[in-house]
Amino acid sequence: MNEGNLFFLLRGWLWLRRKARPTDVQWNLAMAACVGVVGAGLGLLFKAATRVLTQMLTDGAGSGLAAFAQLPPWQRVAIPTVGGLLAGLTLMLGQKLIRQKPTEYMEAITLGDGKLPVRSSLYRSLASMLSIASGTAIGREGPLVQLSALAASVLGQVRKLPPARRRLLVACGAAAGVAAAYNAPIAAALFVSEITVGSLAMESLGPLIFASVASIVTVHIFSDASPLYRLEHFALPHWTELGCFCVVGVACGLMAALFLAMLEQFKKWFRKISVPLAVKLALGGLLVGLIALANPEVTGNGYDALKSLLHGETVTGPGEWLWQAVLVILLARMVATSAAFGSGAVGGVFTPTLVVGACTGSLCWQAFAMAFPDLRIDQAGFATVGMGAVLAAATQAPFMSILMIFEMTLSYEIMIPLMLASVIGYYTFRGFRMHSLYHHGTPDAYDIFNRPLETLTVADIMQTEPQTIGPQAGFGEVARQFLSGGLDRQYVIGADRRLLGVVRLEDLAEHLHSRALAGAFIAGDIAHDNPPTLDTRMPLPEALVLFTHEHEHELPVVRAGTGELAGTLTRNDLLLTLAEAGKRTAPHR
């Protein structure tokens, strides 16, 4: 590229930056979009791979519920058992070969400081795929979300982002995964911000929304994406009927507590059995298989069962489900998922939770329909509201739950009873003082956000590998770096990486109109000397004070004592870190 083109480009670039004033916050958006696309792609791949594996295991009988319903009884028992065994062996082998502390997750993404263990996440995903493909009663969405988050974490580590931004990127990956898994982009963004990030501030919500949208668009391009459980004919309830939904809310809150208690109980039981993990998982699979003998719909995450509940398709044809049938589904599902989960199978419990909710709602409807023969709302309406209420209670994230159900059903009329029941379910559950589905286990000691704020220094949260330039570099090189790097600061370093000055992109504007002058200038001519610097050992509050005085959005960090340039820190990263660390030290709700 000749100098003329270079300056022309740089001028355009400067103009754009002046108009748009992008900071690292806006760059987050661009990366969030990449993460969204990659996350959705991984999700589609995972789904496809699982489907192929199921077909192989069930001898090509189809996929999902249909595949298992057609199998002879012995295979219904054998396949989940063998699948559990294989998944368990994978996990054991993985633990043996890869000495990496795996992140424990249900569906929760432990964001930590954005560094997810890559290899252990991969073998766990493989184990999860085996469990899911063999029909174990567990959700596929959990690993799907985890994979997407993993991709984001890798990107964050490759780009050497500082912890705060890496963490945000992982959150974006999770949002992309959720959006792709449930076809619910709004709820996905809120899911992650409400449950994992714990804030609805635009700094984090913006990138999350971006990732969700990118993800959902990708899914739409590559697959048929329609609402998971579209709800037809739901009339706005009469105000007297809203009373019924209050009862649904309470019932769902109780049922959520019961379900979570069961999950915990099975986990404890399995922990007591001292056999290898593979045998435990096989045992879990065996239990699921035995239940599936009578109720094939317990296999998998329960998506098919949900669909037939919501669309009023019983085994014998369209119509309403009998309460006995619903109760059986509910109990079988709770036991099967608890068994699978308790045995240590890797997967999610999101869709199983929805099944519990839909069954609870249906059962409530049966009771009301008997008591009030002129009830206008049908079983599907109650089942839908039940899904939302149990979800709100179990996740302790009512806002996300309401939107999730709305996006899954695309029925606006459902909103009023849904909101009512969800909030009631949420508060009912709180009475039990139990941990929610997404309660984080023991905090990771390596996660910098868990360290006391006083012990954190600038070195812990800075961005390493800043954009640097030698003092004698010509103007052309400076311009080229600005164009390719996308940053607006270049740090002039001398021998032994000592920081000499800083070249600001905005200063160059003066030069660009006079190409001749630009030709005669070097980095040293246009650098600001002795810029304000942070010190690697500086505590964060001190850094904040400096930022307040300097009106800079980014400051260089030098190594204490030597004056050697170690990295840079942006104001936004500092604030994100302070906010997150502050939240962790606050007492838990």
Judged by the rule CB under 8 A, the positions of this chain that interact with another protein are 472, 474, 507, 510-511, 513-514, 516-517, 519-522, 524-529
Cβ atoms 571, 552 nearer than 8 A? yes
Judged by beta carbon, residue 374 or residue 529, the one nearer another protein is: 529
String of DSSP letters for 367-436: HHHHH-TT--S-HHHHHHHHHHHHHHHHHT-HHHHHHHHHHHH--STTHHHHHHHHHHHHHHHHTTTPPP
Choose between 294 and 520: whose C-beta lies nearer to another protein.
Answer: 520
What is the distance between the alpha carbons of residues 309 and 330, in angstroms, rounded to a whole number? 11
238 vs 513, beta carbon nearer another protein: 513
Place of tokens 């899954």: 408
Q: Which of 365, 383, 238, 358 is nearest to 301 (CA)?
A: 358
Residues in contact with 74: Cβ distance below 8 Å, sequence separation at least 6, in sequence order: none
CA torsion sign for 196, 199, 202, 203 is negative
Report CA-CA distances (Å) from 400 to 369, 389, 510.
30, 11, 50
- CB-wise, 7 or 399, nearer to another protein? 7
Backbone φ and ψ for 557, nearest 5 degrees, come out as: -115, 125
Nearer to another protein, 315 or 516 (CB): 516
CA atoms within 13 A of residue 469's CA, in its CB half-sphere: 28
Cβ atoms of 404 and 391 closer than 8 Å: yes
- Rounded to a whole number of angstroms, the minimum distance from the CB of residue 552 to another protein is 15
Element (H, E) at 535: strand 534-535
Closest residue by Cα to residue 291 from 329, 343, 346, 321: 329
Query: At its nearest, how many Å lie between another protein and the CB of residue 509?
Result: 10
Task: Give the separation between CA 240 and CA 263, rounded to whole angstroms.
Answer: 36
**Beta carbons of 336 and 80 less than 8 angstroms apart:** no
Minimum distance from residue 497 beta carbon to another protein (Å): 20
Taking the complex as a whole, the smallest distance from the CB of residue 562 to another protein amounts, in Å, to 22
Q: Which is nearer to another protein, 442 or 530 (CB)?
A: 530
Nearest distance in Å: CB 498, another protein? 16
| Pairing label, strands 317-318, 313-314 | antiparallel
Q: What is the CA radius of gyration of the chain?
A: 27
Nearer to another protein, 84 or 531 (CB): 531
List the one residue out of 220, 124, 118, 132 whose CA is nearest residue 170.
Answer: 118
Query: Which residues neighbour 309 within 8 Å (Cβ) at sequence distance 6 or greater?
Result: 321, 326, 329, 355, 358, 359, 362, 379, 380, 383
Nearer to another protein, 464 or 514 (CB): 514
| Minimum CB distance to another protein smaller for 387 or for 527 | 527
Structure-derived torsion over alpha carbons of residues 219, 222, 226, 228, reported in degrees to the nearest 10 = -60
Q: Closest approach of Cβ 503 to another protein, in Å?
A: 10
Distance of alpha carbon 126 from alpha carbon 345, whole angstroms: 11
Sequence-ordered list of residues with C-beta below 8 angstroms from that of 576, at least 6 positions apart, any chain = 164, 165, 167, 168, 203, 204
Beta carbon nearer to another protein, 96 or 549: 549
> Which CB, 329 or 502, lies closer to another protein?
502
In the complex, least distance from residue 518 CB atom to another protein, rounded to whole angstroms: 9
Q: Shortest gap between Cβ of 488 and another protein (angstroms)?
A: 16
Nearer to another protein, 310 or 473 (CB): 473
Instruction: List C-alpha distances in Å: 105 to 301, 434, 438, 486.
Output: 17, 18, 8, 36
Nearer to another protein (CB atom), residue 104 or residue 525: 525
CB of 407 to another protein, least distance (A): 52
DSSP 344-364: T---B-HHHHHHHHHHHHHHH
The least distance separating another protein from the CB of residue 496, rounded to whole angstroms, comes to: 19
